[in-house]
Structure 1
Amino acid sequence: MMNPVESMQPPLAECIICHKPKLYGIHICGQMICLDCERAIVHADVEDEAYAYYVEEMKRIWLSALSL
């Protein structure tokens, strides 16, 4: 049985970048990017390999929005 504090927390959502369940993040077109991934994206250098990964994962957000 849930206690009152647990019932007040927002539900976990899976981050579209790291695929981990997180409480907080930004929601874009029905998809969530956790705060850690948002921070990593903002600070990623265009020359970094991780940048290309973030771009590909972000494409998934737009593709899922187009399929609605």
Structure 2
Amino acid sequence: MKSCIVCDLEKPTGIMLYNGFICESCEKDIVCTETNDPKYEFYLTKLRRIHA
């Protein structure tokens, strides 16, 4: 299991993006979030933790 960079929980499934892991539920939330939604900024902040 890996720790999700968005929710910080240990999850068994998800995607690897460079050196970060995003669980399936967070991935779905990110994909469905509109740019005018307040959660959008939250996700951007969390995704900045990924370094190429």
Give TM-score scaled by structure 2 length.
0.93
CA-atom RMSD, angstroms?
0.8
**Larger helix share, 1 or 2:** 1
1:20 aligns with 2:9: yes
Structure 1 residue 43: deviation in Å?
A: 0.2
Aligned to 1:4: none
- Asked which structure has the greater CA Rg, the reply is 1
Deviation at 1:30, TM superposition (A): 1.9
Matching residue's letter, 2:37: D
Structure showing greater relative contact order (alpha-carbon pairs closer than 8 Å, 6 or more residues apart): 2
Q: Percent identity?
A: 35
Moved over 2 A (4+): none
Q: Which runs of 5+ in 1 are unaligned?
A: 1-11
Count of aligned pairs between the two proteins:
52
- Structure with bigger strand share is 2
